[in-house]
Structure 1
Amino acid sequence: MDKNEIISPENLAYKKPALLNETPMHYCPGCSHGVVHKLVAEVIEEMGMENKTVGVCPVGCSVFAYRYIDIDWSEAAHGRAPAVATAIKRVWPDRLVFTYQGDGDLACIGTAESIHALNRGENITIIFINNAIYGMTGGQMAPTTLIGQKTSTCPYGRTPELHGYPLKITEMAALMEGTCYVTRQSVETVAAIRSTKKAIRKAFEASMAGKGSSLVEVVSTCNSGWKLSPVKANEWMKENLFKFYPKGDLKDTTEDK
């Protein structure tokens, strides 16, 4: 076997999904977004839905997601992705429709759209990237920022007396009649990545089967916003975020409907 054969794609342990193109990503080194993009692309490809999927991305770090995954996309105003996804799915019920949103977008600016789309049981999947901060706009406090966590708008740490408490949007979604699958995952290890991919696949399949709304939260890092190296950011996430946002399925009625 010559050198070219050794490094050819078919001989690599990792094969980039075909839907993930060669456009360099704008995400910071160590960011979780790239891994989740890969998983979304893999699942769509494995489901054979390349030509029947519509993603919706609003304002936030993921605003350029359409540049990296070669499917149909629709841009939405800040926080309005679930409303746009609702319209697309109702017009094209045979399409796989999902939103890809950060915590500031979904849990603050778009709280109403998120809550009501989930409660109505729209047959869409919401992928929720929770890094407990506004990553794109300067590291401000988000609804998911932990008590004591420092950001550019709470430099001395979040306090409940001044800023209120962190919002557990996923726990809220699990209580709604319209949701069929609600889970919280992460992508900091190989095992976690495998679990998240399985969750995304289950959510996508549930939406195509007309079983209701699914929410896949991915607890993530923002090492640039947190002012930490990628390694330290993963450690901080495991030591702090996982305690307040524990991983696992919160609701699964996909076999009941």
Structure 2
Amino acid sequence: MTKEEIIKPENLVYKKPTLMNDNPMHYCPGCSHGVVHKLIAEVIEEMGMEDKTVGISPVGCAVFAYNYLDIDWQEAAHGRAPPAVATAVKRLWPDRLVFTYQGDGDLACIGTAETIHALNRGENITIIFINNAIYGMTGGQMAPTTLIGMKTATCPYGRDVTIHGYPLKMTEIAATLEGTAYVTRQAVHTVAAIRKAKKAIRKAFENSMNGKGSNLVEIVSTCNSGWKMTPQASNEWMVEHMFPFYPLGDLKDKE
């Protein structure tokens, strides 16, 4: 096959989204963030919302998300992305596609109350929730989502429920709230999973634009640096240990 034949539109199976900048990513090799960034960029472009999207940048590994996606961004204080910033942006500019991008520490620890109240109010926003069960940026400490028995820098012998309590299932909590329209849990470890995750992000974004209420898309992810594993081993560990506790699929869909 010639070079000309390879680059024909009908032969093109993969390309970088136009909304993704050329900046080198700071994420660790094997990290799930880059894949999710790509999906968000693709969905925004396919919806034709390039000039009408506002992302709320988090605190944590993805704090520099604005370096990679060429859309409008606003940073938020730790945990305050949904109730304060995203809510304000969407209410001031209801024609904008507004989403937050948060890790489990940002969303499920310091942002627990903020997340719950924003979702319960039915704000027309989408929360992208990256759950890797650990604090990746600050040294691998135990997170609210850390599994029972899972070892971290602050629970080196494993999470003990008698000391640390149980892992927090924020997505299940979100599904019980009256204001949520679509609540789902996905992953990006395989091609099939990536396709499902992209479909879920698209549905959530469309719901927020159609005034149907709040949407939460959890992505069960890996942190091979924090877990001290290779990328391949991290994916295998996630499938074996994370998925049974955080099962994939839609938890709520008002449609």
> Paired residue for 1:77?
77
Give CA deviations for 1:160-217 in whole Å, capped at 9, x if unaligned. 0000000000000000000000000000000000000000000000000000000000
Indicate yes or no: 2:253 matched with 1:249. no
> Paired residue for 2:47?
47
> Paired residue for 2:94?
93
Q: Which deviates more, 77-86 or 217-226?
A: 77-86
Indicate yes or no: 2:148 matched with 1:143. no
- Distance in 2 of aligned mates of 1:2 and 1:242: 43
Map of 1:21-40 to 2, 5 A cutoff?
Answer: 21-40=21-40
- Distance in 2 of aligned mates of 1:235 and 1:6: 37
> 1:94 Cα deviation (Å)?
0.5
RMSD: 1.2
- Distance in 2 of aligned mates of 1:21 and 1:66: 9
2:98 match: secondary structure:
strand
- Distance in 2 of aligned mates of 1:134 and 1:8: 41
1:97 match: secondary structure:
strand
Give CA deviations for 1:6-34 in whole Å, capped at 9, x if unaligned. 67585542111100111111000000000
Q: Is the 8 A contact 1:9 1:15 kept in 2?
A: no
2:237 match: secondary structure:
helix
Q: Which deviates more, 226-235 or 76-85?
A: 76-85
Q: Which runs of 4 or more aligned residues in structure 1 lie more than 2 Å from their structure 2 counterparts after TM superposition?
A: 5-13
- Distance in 1 of aligned mates of 2:8 and 2:188: 24
Q: How many residues align?
A: 253
1:74 alignment partner AA: Q
> Paired residue for 1:16?
16
Give CA deviations for 1:34-65 in whole Å, capped at 9, x if unaligned. 00000000000000000000000121011000
2:106 match: secondary structure:
helix
2:99 match: secondary structure:
strand
1:182 alignment partner AA: V
> Paired residue for 2:231?
230
CA distance 1:9–1:97, change in 2 (3 Å): farther
Q: Is the 8 A contact 1:184 1:246 kept in 2?
A: yes
- Distance in 2 of aligned mates of 1:54 and 1:7: 35
- Distance in 1 of aligned mates of 2:28 and 2:7: 28
Give CA deviations for 1:66-90 in whole Å, capped at 9, x if unaligned. 0000000000111111021001001
- Distance in 2 of aligned mates of 1:2 and 1:143: 53
- Distance in 2 of aligned mates of 1:234 and 1:144: 17
> Paired residue for 1:161?
162
CA distance 1:158–1:211, change in 2 (3 Å): same
> 1:2 Cα deviation (Å)?
5.2
> Paired residue for 1:130?
131
> Paired residue for 1:205?
206
For structure 1, the residue ranges without an aligned partner over 5 or more in a row are none
2:205 match: secondary structure:
helix
CA distance 1:142–1:9, change in 2 (3 Å): farther
1:230 alignment partner AA: P
CA distance 1:23–1:8, change in 2 (3 Å): farther
- Distance in 2 of aligned mates of 1:23 and 1:246: 34
TM-score by length of 2: 0.97
TM-score by length of 1: 0.96
For structure 2, the residue ranges without an aligned partner over 5 or more in a row are none
- Distance in 1 of aligned mates of 2:124 and 2:164: 34
> Paired residue for 1:240?
241
